[in-house]
Amino acid sequence: MTRRTIIERLLLAVFAAFMLAVPWVLPALVNSFWVSVIAEILIWSLFASSVNLLYGYVGLLSFGQALYFGFGMYGVGIGIDQLGLGFWPAFGLGIFAAIAMALVSGIFAVRLTWHYFAIITVVFSLIFYFLAVTQKGLTGGDDGINFSLPPTFTLGSAQLSFTNGTFQYFFILATVTICLWLMHCVTRSPLGKAFLAVRDNDVRASLIGLNVYGLRLTAFVMAGFLAGVAGALFAFFGRYASASYMFYHVSGEAVVWAIVGGAGTLFGPLVGTALFIVIRELVSTHWEHHSLIVGVMAILVVILAPRGIVGLWRDILSRITEPVDLKRAVETAELRTDP
């Protein structure tokens, strides 16, 4: 094992241990409010991952992912409030609604690239934002839909639901972990390599036999899935669904989080989201212009570390470990050739 993988695995283990200990450590160190901040960071980082899958792995910059987040949210809200669904069917409805919407809009959107693609994604999300605001009967308009939570698990008379803060946290942690793990698998798979080829050079990709349109659409639907899961989780977390989360401003924030954290890396969006939400929580109580800090930081990162914070960290890590690893590789090679 190289020194690099040792360091990376150690870090991952420490991080995992921290995430598992959050419901006990944070209330003891600061207060229990921070447990729900971490839960919120997890949900939003899943949303930023959907931008990341499109931009970092397929090269499509979407400013409309909030649409699928909103569909996930409304699937849950309408499912519970108007259709009387339980937790799991409502969760499923939210994810299904997001995927279906991503498929329908993707069929049109992925015909285009770059700014045309960015514009059409914004247009789609604006159309449905205004629809959601005006269709008061279905969506509750500006007020949104408030609903009471059905239980997640029922075992005899015992019930587990999001009203239990610790359960809520672990449910969110588990769901986000599963989604990121799925994304990790996809990026390592033949399909993931094909995504990278399309991102790097779409003309060449088509000439070697890759169906560029099909691959972009696949990625778009997958990104819709991630955004939909995030939206559904956020609906359960906030006990409401609202059109305001479908506005393109929300999409834009996810783009900033993903790029600052490091597009094209699995943990980039998590790092970016965590950074900006923690800043917001710390500063906003003292100073109302906290978004100024966000703007300045975003500009600094884009200029100084174009591959984001995770990219910067990887460069530093290579610089520290590569000489050592290289030396060891050479030594083992020599050992092998020596009789």
Least Å from the CB of residue 264 to other proteins: 8
CA distance 276 to 263: 16
From 119, 160, 182, 293, residue interacting with other proteins (rule: CB under 8 A): 182
210 binds other proteins (CB under 8 A): yes
User: If we measure between CA atoms, which residue out of 4, 8, 50 comes closest to residue 186?
Assistant: 50
12/185 with CB nearer other proteins: 185
How many C-beta atoms surround the C-beta of residue 149 within 10 A? 16
What number of chain residues touch other proteins (CB under 8 A)? 25
Q: Whole-number minimum distance, CB 205 to other proteins, in Å?
A: 7
Nearer to other proteins, 205 or 217 (CB): 205
Q: Which stretch binds other proteins (CB under 8 A): 45-53, 185-193, 224-232, 290-298?
A: 185-193
Query: Which part of the chain contacts other proteins (CB under 8 A), choosing from 34-42, 186-194, 229-237, 290-298?
Result: 186-194
Long-range Cβ pairs for the range 189-194 (8 Å, 24+)? 191/215, 191/218, 192/57
- Give the integer Cα–Cα distance in Å for 314 and 72: 34
Residues paired with 158 in a beta bridge: 155
Contact residue for other proteins among 111, 136, 204, 328 (CB under 8 A): 204
Please answer whether residues 254 and 51 qualify as being in contact, where contact means their C-beta atoms are separated by less than 8 angstroms. Answer: yes
Say whether 293 sits in a helix, a strand or coil. helix
Residue (of 70, 59, 51) closest to 112 by Cα position: 59
Listed ranges 73-81, 209-217, 254-262, 271-279: which one lies at the site for other proteins (CB under 8 A): 209-217
Nearer to other proteins, 171 or 225 (CB): 225
34: Cβ contacts below 8 Å, ≥ 6 apart:
26, 27
Instruction: Provide the minimum distance between the beta carbon of 185 and other proteins in the complex, in angstroms, as a whole number.
Output: 5
**Interface with other proteins includes 132 (CB under 8 A)?**
no
Q: Does 191 bind other proteins (CB under 8 A)?
A: yes
Using CB under 8 A as the binding rule, whether residue 194 contacts other proteins is answered as: yes
Minimal distance, residue 317 CB to other proteins, in Å: 16
Q: What is the C-alpha to C-alpha distance for residues 18 and 6, in angstroms, rounded to an integer?
A: 18
Residues lying near other proteins in the complex (CB under 8 A) are found at 182, 185-186, 188-194, 196-197, 199-201, 203-212
